């Protein structure tokens, strides 16, 4: 026995039959013609019956099959069939549901008439050729027009009996076009131009019937659409609503196919063939407004959203969508939201949801090809919505590509380059890549300090004077600008920095920074992190500023003040170096641990009193890692032809981490 009987013969009917069969619901589909039966493939869960049924045959079938429901997905103009199906359901007490084709979007320039005869009467008062797309059964209604055999061009199905019947009505030669749809906007427009038609006659067959493609083509060719309204004012479900109803009624598992698609920069011309095919087949398109607007198809359902959890919730709440495409800018593997989206979509899923990832053309590939530079030897980063020390990359890399993200991004970068003595760095700028208003140019940084551009931009910085990044600690003392402020000597810096164990993205404090020598080396090592130099003396603060400029340490921030008060509003540290505490060591360590219990602390002590204070602090907080290194260094000094070793003050280097609970 069948659970569902579907009166098909339309795109919607075929789709519902396939949907039910795919979900293993026993279904029988009814189609009127042999052509309709070819559109449905029978399977274990789908049987197709060909031939027209009158009201009595319908009643007999319903009584014999005893289905849970009947779905009427017949053509919107098949009014008599719909009446028969509804009546048969009432007489047999069978649940009846109407599936209606969604209406197309009409335009104000169209002419609306109630019937074929009204359309013929209207056209008889006009001049110019007419393309008829209403089908062969309606042609007889136009034969009463004056000179119809010369003015009218009829597009009908290319079946022998149809062509013969049209010829008998006087439609012959080029005025009779035998073709099978669907017809795209481009093909409709080509036919209107080919036959120089000033009018196009159509019924409002809805989105699935190609209605909107006809209207769009007519308006494109300055032809007037003549629209014959629907004969019945019906209420019913759309295909999407029907699928949702069936899913809930039969408790069907929702197994959508989800595609994460990289669409390039946004222009249709940069879509891959694979991407175009996926978009053509999508039931639902999801993405940010700019992206969905650039690739959506006519009549396609759209959900404008970019947040991962909201996308997941919407998909779960709409089981009527089987083929979902989520569009992402550029390539899904290049600074894309695809990673987080995948995590959210796959979390706690036990169903058979299929997720496919399709790559796109990334901005770096497109932009570098446009400016004629290779990108395999470039440093590739993004400063869009994330921390990125571009100055550091440009200092030490000859070629740097970066995504920006603000209208003043180019100016801010150029201003910093000039400040650090790199105004001659050449900046290639790309805005609105692939769009009609695309803009690409190159200028030295010194000429772009006041530039205002589009937030949707990228740059490639070419620095022919790029240096070599320090892979180990060891800037000579003589390279720092020095004054009267104390400076941690080179040998002590090397050991202290080694004990800190910095990473490229560390967030570091240098408490009691002095001239900033250790702050500078920390900033150069943690070049994608942050370093905060805290110093209470005004003259020392000035020295740190000067050294920051000299070494282009753009990720170094300077705070004038006394710790621990000066630390309270700073970001959470991963590492801290204490070179001077002004007697507040215990309070400083306490605050550091409140900010981050796992912070790694290195303390330099010169006096025995400071050593004692550090040991008491370590004991009070019960650090698991509690290491003390005493370092004595001596440097040679030439005296005549002899060299004597001159000792430096001994230093105690104390490393603390992992306090007790």
Helix axes 185-194, 211-220, angle to 10 degrees: 50
Those residues with Cβ within 8 angstroms of residue 458's Cβ, 6 or more apart along the chain or in another chain = 363, 364, 367, 401, 402, 403, 404, 429, 430, 433
Q: Which pLDDT tens digit goes with each residue over 382-405? A: 988 777 889 999 998 999 999 998
For the chain, which residues score pLDDT lower than 70? 35-37, 77, 102-108, 205-209, 230-233, 349-352, 469-473, 661
Cα separation, 649 vs 131, in Å, equals 99
pLDDT, position 470: 58
Q: What percent of the chain has pLDDT over 90?
A: 63
Helix-strand-coil percent breakdown of the chain, rounded to 5? Answer: 35, 25, 40
Tokens found for residue 573: 């540290």
Q: Are strands 284-287 and 323-328 parallel, antiparallel or unpaired?
A: parallel
User: How many Cβ atoms are within 10 Å of 605's Cβ, its own excluded?
Assistant: 23
Those residues with Cβ within 8 angstroms of residue 639's Cβ, 6 or more apart along the chain or in another chain = none
Q: Confirm if 330 and 360 have CB atoms less than 8 A apart.
A: yes
pLDDT, position 320: 83
Q: Confirm if 577 and 508 have CB atoms less than 8 A apart.
A: yes
Q: Name the DSSP letter for residue 555.
A: T
pTM: 0.67
Q: Are strands 651-657 and 625-631 parallel, antiparallel or unpaired?
A: antiparallel
Which of helix, strand or coil describes residue 188? helix
Q: Which pLDDT tens digit goes with each residue over 72-95? A: 998 776 778 889 999 999 999 999
Of 66, 51, 70, 53, which Cα lies nearest the Cα of 6? 70
pLDDT, position 96: 95
pLDDT, position 483: 81
Q: Confirm if 575 and 599 have CB atoms less than 8 A apart.
A: yes
Tokens found for residue 108: 């104000």
Maximal CA-CA distance, the chain: 126
Element at 547 (helix H, strand E):
helix 538-551
Of 160, 113, 156, which Cα lies nearest the Cα of 135? 156
Q: Confirm if 553 and 523 have CB atoms less than 8 A apart.
A: yes
Tokens found for residue 514: 């002095």
| Cross-strand pairs, 642 | 639
Cα separation, 510 vs 541, in Å, equals 12
Q: Which pLDDT tens digit goes with each residue over 462-491? A: 999 888 765 556 788 889 998 877 788 889
pLDDT, position 259: 95
Query: CB-side exposure of 302: number of CA atoms within 13 Å?
Result: 18
């Amino acid at each position: 026995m069948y659970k569902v009987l579907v009166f098909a013969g339309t795109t919607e009917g075929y789709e519902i039959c396939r949907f039910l069969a795919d979900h293993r619901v026993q279904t029988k589909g009814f189609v009127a013609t042999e052509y309709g039966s070819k559109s449905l493939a029978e399977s274990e869960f789908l049987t197709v019956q060909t031939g027209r049924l009158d009201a009595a045959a319908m009643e007999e079938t319903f009584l014999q099959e005893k289905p849970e429901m009947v779905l009427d997905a017949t053509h919107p103009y098949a009014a008599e069939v719909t009446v028969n199906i509804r009546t048969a359901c009432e007489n047999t007490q069978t649940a009846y549901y109407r599936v209606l084709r969604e209406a197309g979007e009409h335009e104000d320039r169209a002419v609306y008439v109630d019937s074929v005869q009204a359309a013929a009467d209207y056209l008889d008062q006009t001049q110019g050729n007419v393309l008829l797309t209403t089908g062969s059964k309606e042609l007889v209604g136009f034969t009463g027009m004056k000179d119809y055999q010369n003015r009218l061009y009829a597009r009908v199905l290319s079946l022998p009996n149809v062509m013969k019947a049209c010829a008998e009505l006087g439609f012959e030669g080029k005025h009779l076009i035998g073709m099978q749809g669907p017809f795209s906007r481009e093909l409709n427009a080509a036919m209107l131009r080919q036959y120089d038609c000033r009018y196009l006659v159509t019924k409002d067959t809805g989105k699935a019937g190609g209605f909107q493609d006809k209207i769009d083509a007519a308006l494109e060719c300055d032809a007037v659409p003549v629209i014959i309204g629907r004969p019945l004012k019906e209420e019913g479900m759309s295909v999407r609503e029907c699928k949702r109803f069936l899913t809930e009624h039969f408790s069907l598992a929702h197994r959508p196919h989800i595609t994460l698609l990289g669409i390039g920069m946004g222009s249709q011309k940069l879509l891959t063939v694979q991407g175009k095919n996926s978009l053509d087949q999508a039931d639902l398109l999801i993405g940010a407004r700019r992206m969905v607007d650039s690739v959506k198809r006519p009549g396609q359902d759209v959900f404008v959203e970019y947040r991962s959890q909201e996308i997941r919730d919407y998909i779960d709440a709409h089981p009527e969508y089987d083929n979902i495409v989520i569009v992402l800018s550029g390539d899904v593997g290049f600074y894309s939201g695809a990673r987080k989206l995948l995590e959210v979509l796959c979390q706690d899923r036990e169903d058979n949801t299929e997720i496919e990832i399709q790559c796109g053309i990334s901005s770096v590939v497109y932009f570098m090809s446009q400016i004629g530079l290779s990108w395999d030897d470039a440093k590739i980063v993004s400063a869009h919505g994330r921390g990125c020390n571009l100055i550091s990359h440009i200092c030490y890399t000859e070629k740097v590509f970066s995504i920006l993200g603000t209208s003043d991004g180019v100016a801010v970068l150029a201003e910093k380059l000039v400040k650090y003595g790199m105004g001659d760095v050449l900046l290639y700028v790309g805005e609105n890549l692939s769009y009609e208003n695309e803009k690409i140019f190159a200028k030295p940084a010194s000429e772009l300090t006041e530039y205002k551009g589009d937030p949707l931009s990228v740059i490639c910085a070419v620095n022919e004077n790029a240096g070599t990044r320090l892979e180990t600690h060891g800037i000579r003392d003589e390279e720092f600008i020095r004054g009267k402020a104390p400076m941690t000597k080179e040998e002590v810096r090397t050991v202290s920095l080694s004990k800190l164990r910095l990473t490229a993205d560390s967030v570091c404090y240098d408490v009691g920074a002095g001239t900033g020598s250790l702050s500078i080396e920390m900033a150069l090592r943690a070049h994608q992190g942050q370093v905060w130099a805290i110093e209470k003396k005004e003259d020392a603060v000035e020295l740190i500023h000067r050294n920051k400029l000299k070494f282009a340490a753009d990720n170094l921030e300077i705070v004038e003040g006394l710790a621990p008060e000066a630390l309270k509003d700073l970001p959470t540290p991963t590492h801290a170096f204490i070179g001077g505490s002004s007697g507040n060591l215990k309070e400083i360590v306490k605050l550091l641990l409140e900010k981050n219990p796992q912070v790694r602390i290195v303390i330099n002590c010169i006096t025995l009193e400071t050593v004692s204070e550090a040991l008491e602090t370590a004991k009070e907080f019960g650090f698991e890692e509690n290491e003390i290194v005493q370092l004595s260094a001596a440097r040679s000094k030439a005296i005549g032809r002899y060299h004597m070793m001159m000792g430096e003050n001994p230093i105690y280097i104390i490393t603390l981490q992992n306090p007790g609970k």
